[in-house]
Amino acid sequence: RSRLKNDLEAGAIYHENIQSLFSVSDILSINCPATDETRDIINRKTLKFFPKDAIITNSARGDMIDDDAMVEALKSKKIFALGLDVYKGEPNIHPEYLKLSNVFVLPHIGSSTKKTRIDMADLAISNIEDFFKTGKCKNAVNWFNYLLN
């Protein structure tokens, strides 16, 4: 990300790098896409940047956190608490998370709003209608490849 012009920053603080941002993050909410850049963005090295007793939440993608490193940080009290709405390898979750009282897990309910669920149902109906009209649908899954993997 690049810095905004001063008149657009509206008092926001720009951080040149992850270390600068994490070092002042008492609470971090992860909400970014999974890319090569963001995969395991929370790892042994970056966990050292956080202030003691920081709280981290992840509602983005499970790939953002190195689970083994996070479990160590939680057990050592470097990180005070972790909130997860997504997990690496969903629907499986790192078993150590379930043993820790400072980890709060949700079953990936980030999309659980009434509007989103109605939109999802409408899309499913639209796909069924399209399939019977044209033999194709907007959100087709290659089931053969899916079943092989």
Among candidate residues 3, 9, 44, 90, the one labeled active-site is 90
15 is catalytic: no
108 is catalytic: yes
What angle (nearest 5°) sits at the alpha carbon of residue 136, between those of residues 132 and 139? 115
What angle (nearest 5°) sits at the alpha carbon of residue 28, between those of residues 25 and 33? 130
Among candidate residues 15, 39, 96, 108, the one labeled active-site is 108
DSSP string, the chain: --PPPHHHHTTPPP-SSHHHHHTT-SEEEE-----TTTTT-BSHHHHTTSPTTEEEEE-S-GGGB-HHHHHHHHHTTSEEEEEESS-TTTT---GGGGG-TTEEE--S-TT-SHHHHHHHHHHHHHHHHHHHHHS--TT---HHHHHH-
The residues annotated as belonging to the active site are 61, 90, 108
